[in-house]
Structures are given as structure tokens and as C-alpha cells.
Chain A
Amino acid sequence: MIKINGKEHFWYEGMTIKDLLKNLNNSHLYAMVRINEKHISMPYFEKPLVPDNSEVFLIPMIAGG
């Protein structure tokens, strides 16, 4: 089990960020995620695995400057 933006969410072995976002509506809005204290950007969503018991935050990143 992991938490996404504070809400519990199922987890499975080998889950990548891309997998995780696939199950969410409007996942294209998230250019960044923070897993525990580590930020990962969209170009790197395919490789890193989401560890069990992670705190995941979805960061919209529509602004910047």
C-alpha cells in the first residue's frame, strides 16, 4: 500500500511511476511526482520503481516562472 496525496492506493511489486499514473484520471497533468523526498520528472517516469509504503505527491507544474 502507498499513499498518493495523502490517500491510500494499492501497490504492486515492480510498479513504476508511469504505471501508477496510468490508473489515474488526467494523469497527463502531472509533470512531476515526489516520492518521499525525491522528485522525479516526466522524462524519467518509466524507470524508477515506486517502493511499498511510499508517500507519493503528484505535482501539477503548470506554472514555474
Chain B
Amino acid sequence: MAEYKMESLKTFNYDRPVIEKGYTNQTLCIDISDGVISIKPVTEKMKNVFIGGKGFDLWLLWNAVHGTTKWNDPENAICIASGPMGGTPVYPGSGKSIVTTISPLTGSVIDSNVGGYFGPYLKFSGFDALEVTGKTSKDVVIFIDGIDEKVQIFTTSGLPDDSYTLSAILTEHFAKGKPRNISVVSTGAGAKNTRMGCLNFTWYDLKRKRARYKQAGRGGIGGVFADKGIKAIVARWDTVTTKTNNPANANILKEVGRKHSKEVVELDPKQNQMSQIGTTHLVSIMNDFDLLPTHNFQYGRHAEADNIGQEVFRRIFDPGYDGCWMGCTLACSHGVKDFVPLTGPYKGTKVFVDGPEYETIAGCGSNLGIFDPHTIIEMNFYCDTYGLDTISVGTSTAFAMECFEMGLINETHTHGMNLSFGNRLAALEVVHQMARGEGFGQIIGSGVRQMKIIFSRDYGADPDLMQDIGMEAKGLEFSEYMTKESLAQQGGYGLALKGPQHDEAWLIFLDMVHNFMPTFEQKAEALHWFPMFRTWFGLCGLCKLPWNDVVPEDNKDMPEPAKVMKHVEWYADYYSAVTGRQTTPDGLIRMSEAVYNFQRIFNLKMGFGQREHDNIPYRAVGPVKAVEYESRAERYDKQLVEKHNADITGKTTEEKIVLLREFRETLYEKLKDAVYKRRGWTNNGIPTVETVTRLGIDFPEVLELLRVHGVEG
């Protein structure tokens, strides 16, 4: 263990409130510039409109920042919250936290959801949400001790920069012999030197006797954390039972929790087997359907994909219970024991790796042309350890590799590194350079949007071509699904509030495979309902996986099988049982609508949130290069002739690409029209006065923002 010192800078004692129906009714605010710690009340109106979790985060952040606030301004806040149901041990997937801040990648609001014990422990310690503002030149650790009812700020020296060791040290330091009582939020050296830093949230694995972690990965939140001078935030809490949330009706809660848990236990082994193999089952499925991104999203399939699929990881994962929250029966957070990295500071040392999940396998594997599971595991380990988002690292490196192979950049620019697809050592070296803040890795760490500027300005690369192949929108790198053949999923990415992350809408199979939504109106309806329902999980402290990754056996007989309504009804019962506020499936959607529209308007406040910001690169829509088109020529030719009535006789590949692009881009614009209409927005993608009034978010500042943008009642 490292030699380190911790000195108390500030201690704030408080009386922990009794939790009432899932709420503590207060939030904790810490300004680390001057060490001011305070408590703000949660009003009934705040609960009615924002519900909790991401809703509370957004409200706190909205009040902390101005429209001109940059990610590294002291006033930027990092907000963390669980939700009214967060911390329930009898219902699967009830330990999530949501983190929001102004993102270094997008310049606007980012939200990222994460497992681990922190959110529930924060709430049980007395706070529905945490808001941290300010900046300090010292390294500080914030300690929220719900057992001894005090919040402390420590200055520290000598603590390691990497999350892997830091989490272990701080868990032991604060545990007082009970490490399960501790959850640590931290980042690593990579977050200081890139724009794609993540946060690691720990949960203590009693069987393996170690701190495990999950990531709030997207949007560079770790960079904001590091820039503020925060080394870690630690929460301490004791025993958790169903009563800890003091639910309005414990009997109904237990009953509905028992039903859903039982179903997961019975059906997951028959269906996706996530309790055994996590999300790795998606690799072969995506590959079979031509949806697995390879070589920077050029193709959706690769002959070697099975080398990084579920059957390989089934053998590699360490068997055992892997629930990132207590009592979760899905328990999908698997890991690799006794892994020995071949590179970097842990070279030759046995480590435990949390993951990989599908996104990491596709992002740091297939999309880089890497089909070696051990390289992917090593990338996973170092990204976590350095505090880096594996999705942005993967998608950004893939872009750099394609630019390298196309000759847009060369070894002069990469400092001698051969960035060809499939170069495993180069991919690992990029990650190490990100952590050290040096070399070409640091440029890749600035993200796709910045790389496009740098490559064009400094290296003379073609900006239009890079715009087409650079897989970012709103400044955020795409997560790892191919969207070329699913218009609905193009919307799922392009119309997502924070940028192209699949947690708002994952409609590929419903659209492309099952053909549930053949018309624009049906696609628009899906791009209304699914983002709203998925948003709801983030308001309440819940994981979405138990909703539709385990499907009731009679689901196929239900009127709307895609929505898995039996589970939606259970969630309505769950919400009612905890909060005492009776609701229905439609009520859940209404809750989300208010927060969703508020976040869209928050984007407007930050200078985004209009139609032009929902554009996506053409690589997400169709084939950019001749090799892409020709690899699926039969498909594209057929579509041109049968779907678009085009005469392609005698046309070259390049001419057919132009034709297809015209058709597909027109469809995407029509999709925008239909979705905006369904969501109650103007044709420029801004919520109308009628919409914000209906949802109860017609605050004076909101109406003024709308007015400034030409939207009036």
C-alpha cells in the first residue's frame, strides 16, 4: 500500500433525517473552493416535477450554471443522485445512481447512470442528491458518513492516481473493519489528460473480499471531477433492508419485488443468461445481424467475432455472484480474476478486471479490428484504472485508425505509431499515453470532434470526409451499434438529448428485425415512448435491464410485446408502494416527459438543443466509401431500385452512393419532423409553450429561453 496522508480540512455535523417513502427531503451541497458545506431542502414541487435521480440532478445543475458556463468553470456542478426506489434490496436492479454535469466533450448537459453502492448509501446517509461545485488546487477527499452523521473534507497527499489501488486504499481507510459499508467514487490519471474521463463507483464484493467497480462512463464527467481537484468521494452506511427506504406499503413492495425477482431467476437462464455472461451475448448476435461495429463502423460483421463472444467470456469470467447492488437477481457485473497485463504499470501483476461488457468488447475490440479477448480485457482494465470511458476511447481510436489507414494522418503525426486496425499494442499504447498526457494518445483523448479540427487545421486532412466518418454527434462519441439499416435507431442516437448513447432508445431489433414500426408515425411514437420510459429508470434509481432483457413467457401474447407491459405495470406498482403516490404505466411516462423536456431546454440554455444539433455523421446513415457500398452492394442496389424507384443502370458505385445518400438523408430529416411533432416540439426541435405548460415546467426562466428562441404562446 502507498504511503499517504489525509488531514481534515472541514467537518460538518448534521442530524440524519428519517427517510420518508424513499425520500430524505434534502440535498447536500459542497463548494470545495472554500470548503462550504450546506443542506438544501427538497420541496414537494421538486418531487412532483422532477421525481428524483436525474430529475433532481438537472434541477440542481440548472440552478448552479449559466448559459455561458464551461465544463472547467468552478460553478459547474457534479450532481449525483439515486432516486426514491434506489437502495431497495428486494427488487432487482435497484441500486443505480445518475451523475450529471456540463460535459467537456459536448459543452452541454451530460448524464450517465452507474451501479455500485454510492447512490443508495448517499441517500441512506441523509441526502437525496449531492451537488459539488468549486475547484481546489489541493487533492481532496470528501467523506459522507451516514453512520456518524458528519461530512468531512480531507486534504490528501501520496494517494495513488489510479482508481484500482485508490479504491482499495480508501475502502480500507474508512471501513472501520466493515468494508461493505463503504462506496468510493474516483477517477484516474486519464481523466486529467483527456476529455473522456469516467467515474468509478465501487461496491464491495464480500466473497472475493475486494472493492469492485462500475462506471459512470459517458461525456467526460471524470475530467470535471479531476479538474475540481477531487481525489474521491466516499460514502459510508450500514445495514440495508427493505425498511431502510421506509416505503409507504412494504407488503406490496415485497410482493411485487418477489414476483420480478422470481421471474428473473426462472427466465434469465433460459433467455440471455446475463447472470452468467453479462451482456457479452450481444457480440455474436450483433455480428450475425450485421450490426457489430468493425473498423470504425464501416462494417457490421467479421469472421473472427466469435473469438470475442459469449462462449469465450463464459470461460474467462470468474464464476460467482456479481450483483452491483444488494439482492439483484440479474447480477450481471462479471469480472476476470487473476488477469496479468502485458503492458503498463501493472505489467506482470495479477489484477481483477471488472468487465468487459458488450460496449467495451465492441468499442475496444471489433471496432478497432481487434479480436483477441485478452487485449480487450487489458484495455478494459487500464481504461477503468485510468478513469477513461471505454466507449469514447474505442470510438475515438477507431476514427484515428481509419484516418491513418486512409492516409489522412501518418506516422509523423502519430509520433511513429502504426495505427493500423488490429494493432493491439498500438491500441494499448494509446490508452497509456492518455494516462500520461503525452503523445498522439492525448490527441485521441480529446475526442472525435476535436480530432476532426486538429487533423484538418494542422495536418491538412479533408474536413468533409472526416465529418462523414467521425462517429460523434453533439460532441459525444457513438456507442457501439451499427445504425445504417435502422432509421429508428438513427433517430435513437441522433435525437438523444446528450448525444449518441443507446440508453435513451435501442430500437434496432424492433425496427430492423421485427419490423414493428414500418411508418414514420410508428417510428416517432417509439421515439417518444421508449426514451420516456427509459428516462424514468434514471429518475428512480433503477437499472433498466430487468424490464426488457428478461421477458415474460406470455409476453408474446400481449398487445404491445415490445413494451413488456407486464413489467411496466409492476414498475408502476413498485413506485406506488415506495412513494405512496399512486400511479399507472401512463403516469410513469408523464413523469419522464417533464424531465426529458426540461433537459432539452437545458441544452437550449447551453447554446444547443435545436434541429441542427440532432444531425449525425453520414457513416451512421449509410455507406460513405466505395468499399463499404460494394461490401453490401446487393442490399444497397436492391433498396435503390425497389424502395426508392431509382434507375441504377450503368451507374458507378460512387454515383450510387450519392443517390442512396440523398434518399437516406431525406428520410432522416422526415423522421426528425415526425418525432418533433410527436414530442410536442416546434419544427426546430424546441418544446412549445403548450408542452412546457402541460408538463408543469413553465418556469419564468424556461419561458424566457423559449421566447428568445422565437417560441411563444
Contact = CB atoms under 8 A, between A and B. Distances in A.
A42 interface: yes
Contacts of B547: 63
B690 to A, nearest CB: 32
A6 B481 CA distance: 32
A62 B509 contact: yes
A6 B510 CA distance: 26
A44 B555 CA distance: 24
B272 A59 contact: yes
Contacts, number: 72
A2 B270 CA distance: 15
Interface residues of B, number: 33
Contact of B548 (A32, A59, A63): A63
A60 B551 contact: yes
Interface in B543-561: 545, 547-549, 551, 553, 555-557, 561
B270 A6 contact: yes
Given A57-B270, A60-B555, A43 B289 contact: yes
Interface in B506-551: 506, 508-510, 513-514, 545, 547-549, 551
A39 B310 contact: yes
Contacts of A5: 270, 553
The secondary-structure label for the interface of chain B is helix
Interface in A46-64: 57, 59-64
A62 B282 CA distance: 12
Interface residues of A, number: 21
B468 interface: no
Contacts of B509: 31, 61-64
Contacts of A44: 288
Contacts of A39: 281, 284-285, 310
A62 B510 contact: yes
Interface string A11-32: 0000000000000011011011
Interface string B261-292: 00000000011100000000110111011000
Interface in B309-351: 310
Contacts of B396: none
A41 interface: yes
A64 B507 CA distance: 9
Contacts of A65: 479, 481, 502-503, 506, 508
12 contacts: A25-B556, A39-B285, A39-B310, A41-B285, A60-B555, A60-B556, A62-B509, A62-B548, A62-B551, A64-B286, A65-B479, A65-B506
Interface of B: 270-272, 281-282, 284-286, 288-289, 310, 479, 481, 502-503, 506, 508-510, 513-514, 545, 547-549, 551, 553, 555-557, 561-562, 564
Interface of A: 5-6, 25-26, 28-29, 31-32, 39, 41-44, 57, 59-65
Closest 9 A-B residue pairs measured CB to CB? A65-B502, A41-B288, A65-B506, A63-B548, A26-B556, A60-B551, A57-B270, A63-B549, A29-B556
